[in-house]
Amino acid sequence: MNTVTALHSLRTKIESRTANLGVVGLGYVGLPLAMLYSRAGFRVTGFDIDAGKVDALNSGRSYIRRILMEEIQQLLEKEFRATVDYSEIARMDAVMICVPTPLDEHQGPDMTYIESTAKAIAPHLQPGQLIILESTTYPGTTEEVLIPLLEAGNKLGLKHYRDGRDEARSFHVAYSPEREDPGNTAVERADIPKVIGAPAPLSGELAGALYNSIFRRIVPVSSPAAAEMTKLLENIYRCVNIALVNELKLLCLRLGLDIWEIIGAASTKPFGFQAFYPGPGLGGHCIPIDPFYLSWKAKEVDFATRFIDLAGEINTAMPYRVVEALSEALNQRGRSVKGSRILVLGLAYKRDIDDLRESPSLTLIELLRKRDAEVSYNDPFIPAVGRGRHYDLNMQSVELDDLGSYDCVLIATDHSDYDYERIVRESRLVVDTRNATARLDQTNVVRA
């Protein structure tokens, strides 16, 4: 099959919605992506190593709060199905990989999920297939990690496509970073441009054809590494600016100034300023992690990312600063953290979602427990929390029945469901990290 024929064939399948698409990793990124393509008429198969997720989806149940059960049932009506059987990769025309990329214990990239996924896919690769990595990662991952594993593990001796290489003995690879923002309903997913980088123009054209069938704009770049770096820049930009306002918040607390008032005033400038807001630390899968990915990669070329590293240090230290402020507030009321009953409001990493990934609330609870506090939490979206990669809490959300029985109520996530007027009125002490109580009588409120 020549390259023109291959490109025409896949484009024809895409245009007619007859292409078989696989999505590997059915979490906060992969499942919405699978739904997007399925709704557009494509035949989509979801792959995951978690049999519980697979069984839930195939039974019409959702495990992500913002995705309704009715949406999963509609997905099944469109012939979507999930599986743990990677041999079905062989039936796919294109496969999009959306697996986690966490940090290891040394704050370096943990490539376990990408590596295991590549090894699972490789034996079932077929000529002309398109494999796209969407996971956030460091520049070079696609060509240095993914491609070698796919080439080494496939049974047909296939190589990734390069200009001049026999397409009939090749598979295609591209990188297109996910741009998922849990809880954001202001921007439709189809309106979020897709950046695409590929090792060869033909592979980039195939990926572009696939994404262009759904997304209103695609943004081709020169290589997978350029696309990988684009994603890191987007999130490091936020990380650095959040670190700046976090540090300014600490300064304003010492100066007796209100950082939220100041940000509001600065936001009236119609040019040259974008508002970022302080908090108890960074959460989510990308912003707390991506700077460390780039810092790790920079060491390979003997480059010190001092600015990025400093931002990471400031943001990582914020939960410790909050606990110190809470301790000081209790001390001023004749109490110590040890033995105090503390209620943490909000476990999710940001408002009105059920996503725990890298949430600063988890760190806050662990720090308070280490100081022998009696800690409870409430989160309307997270009824229970067990064990994760970096925590083992084994807790259940408590009711907000008797706020006055707690020595301190710590507002860690400003969910819209909370009645902050009641919380301030009925609590002995409120430590507010989100400015949720700004418009209320604050005689018993401490900013942190």
- Coil/strand/helix, residue 310: helix
Residues 6+ apart with CB under 8 A from 203: 130, 160, 161, 172, 173, 174
Query: Distance (Å, rounded) from C-alpha 11 to C-alpha 1?
Result: 15
- Coil/strand/helix, residue 340: coil
The dihedrals phi and psi of 198, each to the nearest 5 degrees, come to: -140, 155
Identify the CA nearest to 108 among candidates 353, 293, 312.
293
Query: Distance (Å, rounded) from C-alpha 405 to C-alpha 428?
Result: 8
Query: Cβ(40)–Cβ(65) under 8 Å?
Result: no
β-partners of residue 130 are 94, 172
Query: Cβ(22)–Cβ(47) under 8 Å?
Result: yes
Query: Distance (Å, rounded) from C-alpha 179 to C-alpha 98?
Result: 11
Of 98, 239, 252, 286, the catalytic one is 286
Q: Any catalytic annotation for residue 239? A: no
Q: Where are the beta strands (DSSP E) in 289-419?
A: 341-345, 374-378, 384-387, 392-396, 408-411
Query: Distance (Å, rounded) from C-alpha 445 to C-alpha 355?
Result: 27
β-partners of residue 174 are 132
- Coil/strand/helix, residue 430: strand
For β-strands 170-175 and 130-133, DSSP reports them as parallel
Q: How many CB atoms lie within 10 A of CB 417?
A: 9
Residues 6+ apart with CB under 8 A from 291: 232, 235, 236, 239, 240, 305, 308, 309, 311, 312
Identify the CA nearest to 259 among candidates 71, 110, 433, 103.
433
Query: Cβ(341)–Cβ(405) under 8 Å?
Result: yes
Q: How close are the terminal C-alpha atoms of the chain, in Å?
A: 64
Annotated active-site positions, please? 286
